[in-house]
Amino acid sequence: MNTYNIKLKYKFVSDFVKVTWDFVLYGIEKSFFNNDFAIEYAISEVGKSNDSRPQVFEIASLFTGESINPYIEELVDREDINEDELKEKLLYVLLEWIFDNKEQFPNSLEMVERIYADFDYPVVISKIIGYMPPPLNENESNFGEEYLLTKWKEYLDEQQLRFGS
Dist. CA 8–CA 84, nearest whole Å:
19
DSSP per-residue letters across 8-41: --HHHHHHHB---HHHHHHHHHTTSS-HHHHHHH
Model confidence at 136: pLDDT above 80:
no
In the chain, what percentage of residues exceed pLDDT 90?
Answer: 75
Mean predicted confidence (pLDDT) in 143-151:
88
Contact call for residues 151 and 142 (beta carbons, < 8 A): no
Instruction: Name the more confident of 113 and 136.
Output: 113
Strand partners, 164: 17
pLDDT of amino acid 138: 65
Dist. CA 75–CA 53, nearest whole Å:
8
Mean predicted confidence (pLDDT) in 48-55:
87
Dist. CA 64–CA 152, nearest whole Å:
34
pTM: 0.92
Instruction: Name the more confident of 136 and 133.
Output: 133
pLDDT of amino acid 142: 66
Mean predicted confidence (pLDDT) in 79-105:
94
Q: What is the pLDDT of residues 95-107, one digit of tens each?
A: 999 999 999 988 9
pLDDT of amino acid 61: 95
Residue among 91, 119, 124 at smallest CA distance from 13: 91
Dist. CA 34–CA 121, nearest whole Å:
25
Mean predicted confidence (pLDDT) in 46-52:
86
Mean pLDDT over the full length of the chain = 92
Dist. CA 158–CA 126, nearest whole Å:
14
pLDDT of amino acid 140: 57
